[in-house]
């Protein structure tokens, strides 16, 4: 395997919380891998499904 891509859909929603745990979680996920890794932080870019999901979280800033 040449590359593993990690897709992360919640970092952009829980920004303040992710600061505390995200780097350690990613380091844990890649520990021992010998291939290249990439991280894709999903935003949804105008997707109604994504906007509705974020609104359902009752997170400040998302309505």
Task: For the chain, give every domain's residue range.
Answer: 3-56
Q: Is the alpha carbon torsion for 31, 33, 38, 40 positive or negative?
A: negative
Q: What is the mean pLDDT of the chain?
A: 82
DSSP H helix total and E strand total for the chain? 2, 2
CB 4 within 8 A of CB 33: yes
pLDDT for residue 63: 52
Examine the pLDDT at 29 and tell me if it is beyond 90: yes
| 53: three-class secondary structure by DSSP | helix
Residue ranges of E strands in the chain: 3-8, 36-41
State yes or no: pLDDT of 3 exceeds 60: yes
pTM of the model: 0.59
């Amino acid at each position: 395997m040449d590359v593993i891509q990690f897709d992360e859909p919640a970092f952009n929603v829980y920004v303040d919380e992710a600061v505390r745990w995200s780097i350690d979680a990613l380091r844990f996920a890649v520990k021992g891998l010998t291939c290249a890794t990439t991280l894709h932080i999903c935003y949804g870019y105008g997707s109604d499904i994504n906007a509705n999901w974020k609104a359902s979280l009752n997170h400040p800033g998302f309505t």
